[in-house]
């Protein structure tokens, strides 16, 4: 499977190798898919303590200049104008058909300064897309020398506290600049696992130092891309290229919540983004297919590409993400089904190796999130309901 | 009690007049943590090289191709509840099925231990 072209390496590549990582090609990078402990244990460690992920392959695009918020709003159905400094939002870049070019996190890092974190496989495309549509008065730069670490799990805040940072007033989707072990970092309280946690943007020269500093804590352990995928699947989070593509709209992908009310019909700034006519006409559920969860009745895994049939044997959908859920000890999957078949508990079949495997339509997520909403809110609910 | 090997990393071992089949330690390491095994039906007639079982790990699905032709007479039901036995003990409690070999079967057509070890070393 070794590709002849040279794979890019993140600043942490040597650390991964020393930690016993199995390295695989991913979006043009040589990335750790798992370490010595294996995917299941890394997954469970993240749900119980704190997993450290190298996600430096992702794109960090800085957008700044006059009217940056208004201009970014022309590309995304998101309320960016009223996003306060130090706050983050989930965003979607759309094409003229309302299809999703990429999903991203946008943080307001300054008065007219924004940081977009985009998918590795899409970052060059995104950069060109944004530059082509926004005026030259805006600076749109890939932060190519920035690493990105994700620290995820219920012990993350405690890890930070031991490093001298009480972050009890920093809530989910907030962001701030912080000196970690003396190194300036951009920290956001977010991630891609459904857990409380932080994403840490730091320059490449200091990335290994920050990783080593976090790994000194007994609760922190490296976690690879394999567990990152199973964690996000349990949390019902979409994977670009699988669950969302240029051929799926936010409404089809059950991402209506990611279309800000301010940008919908009747809101203060309705439309005005690429693909607005199609997306707004689809609200609330004027679509033919929709993304839902499927709970398999048996133990066989149902992987992306499996066709979903109704009880009469008609193909009515397809699995876009699927695998084993380490937290639940059983397979889970999600994918598209025609809207008439999307009601909860509806029984369908997935076709795997010419066999019909029963599944039931399920609400997402499979594992409820454990985000931190502030000291008062989270008191007494630190333990997750066990399934 | 000699064990023979295929170049697809299955092992086959004589046990009375039957042949027990499983996957090798190398194969389970490549697959990673096994979470599901689709066993063949009893009485199924298999040709050598035909897909007999599917082993699913967290990473991928792997086929078990029958090392010999014959009729399936037993399957390791314990794998349904404990598929991880394939990782823990691939050549013992992680066996997959037992086959009554067709008359023409000669286990010595497969690789012996030494030849198989050389193959694995060449893949490292």
| pLDDT, tens digit (0-9, with 9 covering 90-100), for A273-314 | 999 999 999 998 899 999 999 999 999 999 999 999 999 999
> What is the full DSSP assignment across B40-69?
PPTT-EE-TTSEEEEEEESS-EEEEEPSS-
Structure tokens at A145: 């020398």
Q: Which of A2, A36, A301, A327 to mutate to test the interface with B (most CBs of B within 10 A)?
A: A301
> Among partner residues B56, B59, B61, which is closest to A226 by beta-carbon distance?
B59
- Residue A34: list chain B partners with CB under 8 A: 32
Q: Does B59 touch chain A (CB under 8 A)?
A: yes
* B17–chain A nearest CA distance, Å: 32
pLDDT of residue A379: 54
State the Cα–Cα distance between residues A347 and A303, nearest whole angstrom: 18
Q: Does A149 touch chain B (CB under 8 A)?
A: no
Residue contacts between A and B (CB atoms, under 8 Å): 35
pLDDT of residue A385: 45
State which residue of chain A sits closest to B35, comparing Cα positions: A324
pLDDT of residue A380: 47
Q: Does A324 touch chain B (CB under 8 A)?
A: yes
State the Cα–Cα distance between residues A209 and A149, nearest whole angstrom: 12
Identify the band that residue A375 occupies on the pLDDT scale cut at 50, 70 and 90: confident
Do A146 and A175 meet the contact criterion of CB atoms below 8 Å apart?
Answer: no
Do A23 and A30 meet the contact criterion of CB atoms below 8 Å apart?
Answer: yes
Average pLDDT in chain A: 95
Do B37 and B55 meet the contact criterion of CB atoms below 8 Å apart?
Answer: yes
Interface contact B56-A301, CB threshold 8 A: yes
Q: Does A83 touch chain B (CB under 8 A)?
A: no
User: A386 pLDDT exceeds 80?
Assistant: no
Interface contact A39-B61, CB threshold 8 A: no
Mean pLDDT across B40-61: 95
State which residue of chain B sits closest to A323, comparing Cα positions: B58
Residues 6+ apart with CB under 8 A from A343: A361
Identify the band that residue A4 occupies on the pLDDT scale cut at 50, 70 and 90: low
Do A200 and A179 meet the contact criterion of CB atoms below 8 Å apart?
Answer: no
State which residue of chain A sits closest to B30, comparing Cα positions: A22
Least-confidence region, from A78-82, A146-150, A377-381: A377-381
Residues 29-48 of A with CB under 8 A from B: 33-34, 38-40
User: A387 pLDDT exceeds 90?
Assistant: no
Identify the band that residue A98 occupies on the pLDDT scale cut at 50, 70 and 90: very high
Interface contact A230-B58, CB threshold 8 A: yes
Q: Looking at this predicted complex, what is its ipTM?
A: 0.88
Residues 6+ apart with CB under 8 A from A62: A109, A113, A114, A115, A116, A139, A140, A141, A143
Interface contact B61-A301, CB threshold 8 A: yes
Mean pLDDT across B100-122: 90
Backbone angles phi, psi at A226, to 5 degrees: -60, -50
Q: Does B61 touch chain A (CB under 8 A)?
A: yes
Q: Does A353 touch chain B (CB under 8 A)?
A: yes
Mean pLDDT across A68-91: 98
User: A263 pLDDT exceeds 70?
Assistant: yes
User: A6 pLDDT exceeds 80?
Assistant: yes
Average pLDDT in chain B: 94
Interface contact B36-A38, CB threshold 8 A: no
State the Cα–Cα distance between residues A180 and A216, nearest whole angstrom: 14
Q: Does A339 touch chain B (CB under 8 A)?
A: no
> Among partner residues A38, A299, A301, which is closest to B32 by beta-carbon distance?
A38
* B122–chain A nearest CA distance, Å: 16
Interface contact B56-A230, CB threshold 8 A: no
Interface contact A226-B54, CB threshold 8 A: no
DSSP state of A385: P
Q: Checking DSSP bridges between strand A29-34 and strand A22-26, what pairing results, if any? A: antiparallel
* A330–chain B nearest CA distance, Å: 8
- Residue A331: list chain B partners with CB under 8 A: 35-36
* A19–chain B nearest CA distance, Å: 17
Q: What is the pLDDT of residues A328-338, one digit of tens each?
A: 999 999 999 99
* B105–chain A nearest CA distance, Å: 28
Interface contact A301-B32, CB threshold 8 A: no
Mean pLDDT across B74-83: 96
Collapsing DSSP to helix, strand or coil, A292 comes out as: strand
Q: Does A315 touch chain B (CB under 8 A)?
A: no
> Among partner residues A40, A300, A353, which is closest to B58 by beta-carbon distance?
A40
């Amino acid at each position: 499977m070794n590709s002849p072209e040279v794979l890019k390496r993140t600043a942490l590549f040597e650390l991964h190798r020393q930690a016993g990582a199995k390295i695989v090609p991913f979006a043009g990078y040589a990335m750790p898919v798992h370490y010595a402990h294996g995917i299941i244990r890394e997954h469970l460690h993240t749900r119980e303590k704190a997993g450290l992920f190298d996600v430096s392959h992702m794109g960090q695009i800085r957008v700044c200049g006059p009217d940056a918020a208004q201009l970014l709003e022309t590309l995304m159905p998101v309320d960016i104008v009223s996003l306060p400094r130090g706050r983050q939002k989930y965003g979607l870049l759309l094409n003229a058909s309302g299809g999703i070019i990429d999903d991203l996190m946008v943080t307001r890092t300054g008065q007219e300064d924004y940081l977009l974190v985009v998918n590795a496989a899409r970052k060059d495309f995104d950069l060109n897309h944004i530059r082509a549509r926004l005026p030259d008065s805006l600076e749109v730069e890939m932060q190519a020398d920035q690493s990105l670490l994700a620290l995820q799990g219920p012990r993350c805040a405690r890890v930070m506290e031991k490093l001298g940072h009480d972050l009890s007033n920093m809530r989910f989707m907030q962001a701030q600049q912080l000196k970690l072990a003396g190194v300036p970092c951009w920290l956001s309280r977010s991630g891609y696992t459904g857990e409380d946690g932080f994403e840490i943007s730091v320059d490449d020269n200091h990335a290994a130092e920050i990783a080593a500093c976090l790994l000194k804590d007994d609760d922190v352990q490296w976690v690879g891309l394999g567990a990152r995928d199973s964690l996000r699947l349990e949390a019902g989070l979409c994977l670009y290229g699988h669950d969302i593509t240029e051929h799926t709209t936010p409404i089809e992908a059950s991402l209506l919540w990611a279309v800000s009310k301010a940008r919908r019909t009747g809101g203060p700034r309705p439309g005005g983004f690429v693909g607005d006519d199609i997306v707004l006409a689809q609200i609330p559920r004027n679509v033919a297919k929709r993304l839902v969860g499927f709970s398999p009745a048996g133990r066989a895994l149902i992987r992306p590409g499996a066709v979903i049939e109704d009880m009469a044997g008609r193909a009515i959908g397809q699995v876009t993400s699927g695998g084993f859920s380490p937290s639940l000890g059983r397979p889970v999957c999600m994918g598209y089904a025609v809207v008439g078949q999307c009601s909860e508990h509806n029984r369908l079949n997935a076709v795997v190796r010419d066999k019909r495997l029963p599944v039931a339509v399920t609400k997402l997520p499979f594992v409820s999130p454990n985000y931190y909403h502030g000291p008062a809110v989270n008191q007494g609910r630190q333990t997750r309901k066990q399934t | 009690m000699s064990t023979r090997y295929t170049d697809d990393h299955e092992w086959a071992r004589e046990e009375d007049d039957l042949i027990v089949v499983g996957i090798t330690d190398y194969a389970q390491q490549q697959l990673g943590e096994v979470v599901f095994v689709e066993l063949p039906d009893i009485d199924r007639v298999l040709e050598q090289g035909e897909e007999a079982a599917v082993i699913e790990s967290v990473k991928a699905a792997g086929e078990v191709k029958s090392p010999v032709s014959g009729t399936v007479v037993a399957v390791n039901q314990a794998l349904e509840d404990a598929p991880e036995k394939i990782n823990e003990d691939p050549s013992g409690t992680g066996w997959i099925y037992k086959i009554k070999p067709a008359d023409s079967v000669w286990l010595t057509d497969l690789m012996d231990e030494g030849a198989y070890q050389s193959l694995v070393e060449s893949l490292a």
